[in-house]
């Protein structure tokens, strides 16, 4: 472990018309909602996508904590599928004041650099803006927001900005960071 300066960018959209499309993916993909919350599947996605980017906040969550997180009204997981294989995922979280946070977003390592991230982010944005259509107890979304940091993938910030998200806050702090990310196979030996 070492101390490292980490920059965090918080971005948002306040109008669905600000959402910009990406170029269509070169391969067939589908973004499908996970209708049956599955802690096991969600933890797999979290480690498979975030393992190379120091995503560790949820690694200590037990099955009950994952279930509670996934079963909240307005919480959704969407998986990008490529020919039957999960290629990436996004989590949406309904929040007070008619806001939706994109809490997790990313691609599995084998799908990086294939032009899928922009398409998936646009589609995730569409679903964040129309979240209330699937949850009658919610009011229409007024704001969609996300944060990314200097530990995330090198294309993350540019992708958010290219889809029409605007930076509203930048924070820097010294944090303890593992010398090496855990990788998508935590606990497995090289």
How are beta strands 143-149 and 99-107 bridged, if at all? parallel
H-helix segments, 71-116: none
- Give the tokens for residue 2: 């070492």
140 contacts 15 by C-beta, under 8 angstroms: no
82 contacts 76 by C-beta, under 8 angstroms: no
Instruction: State the pTM of this model.
Output: 0.94
Residue whose token pair is 């018309």: 17
- Give the tokens for residue 114: 């294939």
- The SS3 of residue 149 is strand
Q: What is the pLDDT of residues 110-136, one digit of tens each?
A: 999 999 999 999 999 999 999 999 999
Going along the chain from its start, the domains and CATH numbers come out as 2-177 (3.40.630.30)
Q: Write the CB contacts of 135 (distance below 8 Å, at least 6 apart in sequence).
A: 73, 74, 94
Q: What is the pLDDT of residues 75-116, one digit of tens each?
A: 999 999 999 999 999 999 999 999 999 999 999 999 999 999
């Amino acid at each position: 472990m070492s101390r490292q300066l980490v920059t965090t960018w918080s971005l948002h959209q306040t109008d669905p018309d600000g959402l910009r499309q990406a170029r269509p993916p070169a391969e067939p993909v589908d973004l499908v909602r996970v209708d049956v919350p599955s802690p096991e599947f969600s933890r797999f996605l979290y480690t498979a996508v975030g393992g190379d980017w120091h995503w560790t906040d949820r690694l200590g969550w037990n099955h009950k904590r994952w279930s509670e997180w996934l079963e909240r009204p307005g919480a959704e997981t969407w998986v990008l599928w490529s020919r039957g294989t999960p290629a990436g995922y996004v989590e949406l979280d309904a929040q007070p004041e008619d806001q939706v946070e994109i809490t997790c977003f990313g691609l599995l390592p084998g799908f990086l650099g294939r032009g899928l991230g922009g398409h998936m982010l646009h589609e995730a944005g569409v679903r964040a803006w129309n979240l209330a259509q699937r949850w009658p107890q919610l009011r229409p979304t007024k704001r969609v927001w996300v944060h990314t940091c200097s530990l995330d993938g090198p294309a993350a910030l540019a992708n958010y900005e290219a889809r029409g998200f605007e930076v509203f806050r930048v924070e820097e702090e010294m944090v303890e960071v593992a010398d090496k990310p855990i990788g998508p196979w935590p606990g497995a030996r090289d």
